[in-house]
Amino acid sequence: MTRSLFLSIINKTSEEGIAIRTHKKWFWPLALLTLFVTCFLLFFQFRKVHEADTPLQQASNSEFWLLSDIHFLSSTLHDNGAAFQTFTKGAAGKEMTYQEQSIEAFTAQALKEKPTGIILTGDMTLNGEKASAQELARLLEPLQEADIMVLALPGNHEIYNGWARAFKGEKEYYADQISPEDFQTIFAEGYEKANSIDKSSLSYSIQLNDKYRLFLLDSCIYDSEVNWDDPTTNGELKPATLTWLEEQLTLTKEAEQVPLVFLHHNLFGHNELLQDGYVLDNASETVALLERFNVPAVFSGHIHIQDINEGNDSLYEAVTGSYSTAELGYGVLSLSDKEINYEARQIDLDAWAAETKQTNEQLLNYQNYQKSIFEKDTDQLVRDQLSAVSELSDAQMTKLCTFVTRLNTALFTGNDTYSAEEKAAIKDSEEYQWLATYSYFLKQYVDSMLDDQTDDRKLTIPLTAE
């Protein structure tokens, strides 16, 4: 590069008819200036690569808060009118009215406790609206200003989602979609801090410290351009991404670091009825790779259920429940030299509303408000499933709705570990017998809730010395 720059100076000078030997005093200063600029650029490029390979922190102890499936819709995309209200009725238990306040409360709590960073494990936006992603990033900016990292990976709702909509009056309109380039720009910090970025997807790795390396993987299937069709729910890791991951895991092993993996889709099944479209299409291949490199844990989202799966005793998966459904839940991941700890927690929006002197009664009693929306949605699910059954009285139907709603809330919040006695009582109940008689699906669903044998809100993984 330097030689070509020298030649360009010589050629330009000759073309203008100026003899170089008669203007030596100009030639050498220009040459030295060119050399200086070239060296500066080379140094900057080296420094950039060097910084990417340098761990982000010296301490081995760190804490990350995991936030998943927010399904945030920017208030600029609706007027709270008829079309929006109609949409929210089919929002599958999501609380859509106070999303901005719920993020502000989360941010305020993080600013108080100052974790190392926040990791967003996909479906941050409702349906991939660019404005929603931009607004969410703006709401999280105070964290970055306080040196709390915000790292993000996409969910199946994010990139080129044909469902992206704006709502005005009685109509809905197409909204601008998020491209892969938009995602990298809006949630830039992770890519700026990455030590390696996969060229075939939005996956990247982070050199956290000498002890840990983080892998934020893009498990989503999406078009390469604006899409007007339904988004693809299921996911996979591309062959090229698996190759990149294997290369990076090899470097991690050589550096004697502990690799931790984050993605949107699930690696293992967490409910008998929630497998297809939730577990990675190439999960077995991915599990084999992660096991080969002794990855101790994977952290995901997607199913909206707070759940922990012990896998096969060597690889665990913790799924953080949706922030917009049964509770304002998030995961706290604490890392040290000796162990990995994960714990599910909940934002107390009621307390935030009181502290910030809100006057809205629903905000001041938000926990019950959010719970009521989820319960109402479950109630409707039960009634829809039993709509053709005429043998049940209104009182029996109400009892059945209460029965299923209680179990469903426990499932989604990770409070569904039952003793043998509790399971027997559930199956002996008249409500369960009604389901066995009138709804094979609902009986199956209740049975699937009773299979869990693990604590779904806490996980500790000791790290054995090599």
User: Do 237 and 230 touch, CB atoms closer than 8 A?
Assistant: no
The shares of helix, strand and coil residues in the chain, as percent rounded to the nearest 5, are 45, 20, 35
| pLDDT at residue 466, rounded to an integer | 52
| pLDDT at residue 108, rounded to an integer | 98
What residue segments make up the domains of the chain, in order of their start? 52-354, 365-449
| pLDDT at residue 28, rounded to an integer | 53
| pLDDT at residue 34, rounded to an integer | 55
| pLDDT at residue 336, rounded to an integer | 96
- Per DSSP bridges, beta strands 117-121 and 62-67 are parallel
Quote the pTM value. Answer: 0.87
Q: Give the C-alpha distances (Å, rounded to integers) separating 19 from 2, 11, 100, 170, 247.
A: 21, 11, 69, 76, 55
Q: Give the C-alpha distances (Å, rounded to integers) separating 108 from 61, 63, 140, 442.
A: 22, 16, 10, 40
- Residue 354 is given by DSSP the state H
Q: What CATH number belongs to 52-354?
A: 3.60.21.10
- Cα 393 to its chain centre, rounded Å, is 43
| pLDDT at residue 36, rounded to an integer | 52
For the chain of 466 residues, list the mean pLDDT of each consecutive stretch of 10.
Answer: 34 36 47 51 41 75 96 95 90 90 98 98 96 98 97 96 95 96 97 97 97 97 90 95 98 97 95 88 96 96 93 87 96 97 97 97 96 94 93 95 96 93 95 95 93 88 78
